[in-house]
Structures are given as C-alpha cells and as structure tokens.
Structure 1
C-alpha cells in the first residue's frame, strides 16, 4: 500500500496521505514524492483542480518526528530536510491549477505547512490545527512562515508560532487560516474544484501566478541570516532534547542553547 494515493473525479485529482496508523505523519520520502506528484500535474492537461487530504480521519500530524534521529539530526541534515519540505510546498503552490486542502482531525506542523501551500483550506468542525515547532525547539522555515503571515497577518502569525497552541476549525477560520468549515468538507471541496474546472484554465492559472507571487514577496527579510539561525538551532542541545522528550513521551527541559 502506497503512503500517498491518487484518484480522479473528472478533472479533479484527489491526493490522499495514506499512513492512517501514524495519523499521516509525513516521512522524508513522502515530502519528495509530493513534490514529484504536484510537478507532474502541471504536465497533465486533464487535471484542472487538486484536492489534498488524509486517510483515516486525520489530515496529518506533521513531519514524522520518529525518523528525525536518522534524517534530521543536525544542521546539515536539517538543511537538506527543509529543502525537501520546501520543494513539496513550492510544487503545490506553483501548480497551475487550484489546490484545496481538506482538513480533518489533526493538521499540525508539517501538515499545516502543506495546507498553507494550497489555495484554499476546507475543514471539518472538529479539526485541530496548529504549529508546535516551539515544543521541539525548531524554527519554522522562512517560506512557510511567509505563507502563514500572508494568510493570518503578523499578530496572529506570532500567536500561532510563539504559543504552539492548537486551534479549532472555527478559531482558525476567524484568523484566516481556514476558508470553509462544514460537516463534509471533502464533498464541498470537490464541488468547488469542479466549478473552477469549468472555467478558463489559463485565466485561473494567471490569477494564481500573480496572487501567489505578490503574497510571497520577501520584502526586507534577510533570508540568508534567517536560514543561518535555523541551522544554528538545528545543531542546538534544545533540539536534541526536544527529540528525546518526544520519543520518551515527556515534557522537554529546554535551556535555550
């Protein structure tokens, strides 16, 4: 059974994260596969909309932290890992067609990263949405932080990242992190994607290119400096403590070093 499944409903492709027992935690290999899948859609004229969802009642609990000791244990590995994560989100954001994330259950961390790269987020009422990077001494990546701020604004972005809180679908909608809340978001998302698919695809693609570009302008941020700080934290004692505490199912004892 594949970790990622793809089905079709007319002009709409449905991409499903398929690690139900692990609440669709995303392995490094899956980040790479997602980048390939979404890049491939651009070459398929029959695909005019994509739904990204998860199996078993959860969207995704985020990156598979259980493998971090092997694939994200220091600054060098963390940098390579973030390249793979950013490549996946960039492939989603740069897909020529609209992409709708359908959120249920947990949508945390890396799962939120994937959802924010989509054009829209439709959520079940009981979805739990958040970015717990501060519980692992991880600095959320520059591109994903830009996406968060473009959706929810500066103050709410700080609230999400500083607190590591989880939000209900209704709370996330009030911030702008969720667009639609309903009992059956998958059906609603497919219906909406089909409505857009019936329109001029080049018009939609052009609008997406312009709007995504405007929203992701880097402004005055020193990206090299920000990435250097991310690397330093990836080599820190706190990051090792965060991983160990996660594996041992205890509260971490962070020292700021």
Structure 2
C-alpha cells in the first residue's frame, strides 16, 4: 500500500497521506516523496491546483517519531532531517499553483508544517491544530516559523509555539490557522480550486511568488524574479487571450503560456 496517493481530475490534483492506522504520521521517506511530487507538478500542464489531505479521520499527527531514534538521534541527523522537511514545504510553497490543505481531525507538528506551506487551509469541525515542539525539545524550523508568523501574528505565534497547546477548529480559525470551516473540507477545497483552475496560471504564479516573498519580511522577495514574472505574463498568449475574451464577452481559455 502506498503511503502517498496522487489522483487528478479536471485540473485538480489530490495528494493524500495514506497511513490512517498511524494517523498519517509522516516518515522521512514521505517527506522526500512529497517534495518530488510537488516539484513535478510545476511542469504538469494537467495540474492547475492541488488539494492536500489525509486518509481517514486525521490530516496528520506530524512526523513519525517512532523513527527518530534511528534517523534523528543527534545534531547532524537532525540537520539532515530538517533539510528534507524544508525541501518538502519549500516545494509546496514554491509551486506556482494554488494549494489547499483539507484538514480533518489532528493536524499537529509536521502536519501543521505541511498545512502552513499551503496557500489555504480548509478545516471541518473535527479539526484540531497544534505544534507540540515545546513538549519534545524541538525548535521549529525558520521557514515554518516565518509562515506561522505571517498567518497568525506574533502574539498568537508565540502562544502556539510556547504552549504546545491544541486548538479546535473555531479557535484555530480565529487565530489564523484555518481560513474556512466546512462540513466537508475536501469537497469544499475541490470546488474552490475548480474555480481557480479557470483563471490565468501566470497571474496566480506571479501573485503567489510575490505574496509569499513579501510575507516573510525583508529580503524574502527577489525583485528581479518578481519582475520577470510580471514580464512573462505581459508578453504571454494568455494575456492576449484574456483581452480577446473580454472584448468578445466570453470566458477566457487560459493555457499557462
């Protein structure tokens, strides 16, 4: 049985963590596989948006701590492990296509790390979010702390990291950890992304790059890359198609080129 399942339909890919018996705890191999999956989506014209979800009742309880004695036992192993984790979240955040985390049940630690890297977090009423690093003597990685700070503000970020508490859906939304609550988070995410998938890919990619960079503070945005994204969109066939569709009063047919 695969630990990660990928399915595609109508331009939306669904990536499912598939270890329900372990509450979708993420192994080192899974961190690396997720990085590869999201990196490949960048060049996949059939994928315009992505839903990240967990099989069964939980999104993910986080990293599989049962492996830590063998793969994260000292400073060097911990550093190597964080490289894999950051590569995974980096691939999600860098993908120039919208990504929604559909959260049910537990979304803890490494699971929260995955969700923070997504563009949006939709939860159902069973969702419980938290970062228990202070109960494990783990310092959360810089990139994830940046994302947490950008979403929740400094007071909530400190509360979340210092306390290691778990927050139910309504409270998590009030703190900025969840954007929307639905009876069926996965279905709501898919419907939302189906709408976005009709919009211009170059516009979304440019906006995502700029917003992610600006949200991380000084030095987070490469202005040259940002300008290149503006220039590519301005000289694209999609831009010409958008103008034609506007003049012809019809829906545009964007191709991402």
TM > 0.5 between the two? yes
**Deviation digits for residues 70-91 of structure 1 (CA, Å, limit 9, x no counterpart):** 0000000000000000000000
Provide the residue aligned with 1:201 in structure 2: 201
In structure 2, distance between residues paired with 1:210 and 1:46: 24
**SS in structure 1 at match of 2:73:** coil
Provide the residue aligned with 1:175 in structure 2: 175
**Deviation digits for residues 156-185 of structure 1 (CA, Å, limit 9, x no counterpart):** 000000000000111010011100101011
Provide the residue aligned with 2:164 in structure 1: 164
In structure 1, distance between residues paired with 2:138 and 2:212: 26
**SS in structure 2 at match of 1:13:** strand
TM norm structure 1 = 0.84
Structure 1 unaligned spans of 5+ = 221-257
Provide the residue aligned with 1:110 in structure 2: 110
In structure 2, distance between residues paired with 1:13 and 1:140: 29
Provide the aligned length of Structure 1 versus Structure 2.
220
Q: CA deviation at 1:218?
A: 5.4
In structure 2, distance between residues paired with 1:142 and 1:20: 29
In structure 2, distance between residues paired with 1:195 and 1:62: 30
Provide the residue aligned with 2:152 in structure 1: 152
Q: Within 5 Å, give how 1:1-257 maps onto structure 2.
A: 1-217=1-217
Higher Cα radius of gyration? 2
Q: CA deviation at 1:216?
A: 2.0
Structure 2 unaligned spans of 5+ = 221-257
Q: CA deviation at 1:141?
A: 0.7
**Deviation digits for residues 77-115 of structure 1 (CA, Å, limit 9, x no counterpart):** 000000000000000000010000000010000000000
What is the Cα-based RMSD across aligned positions, in Å? 1.1
TM norm structure 2 = 0.84
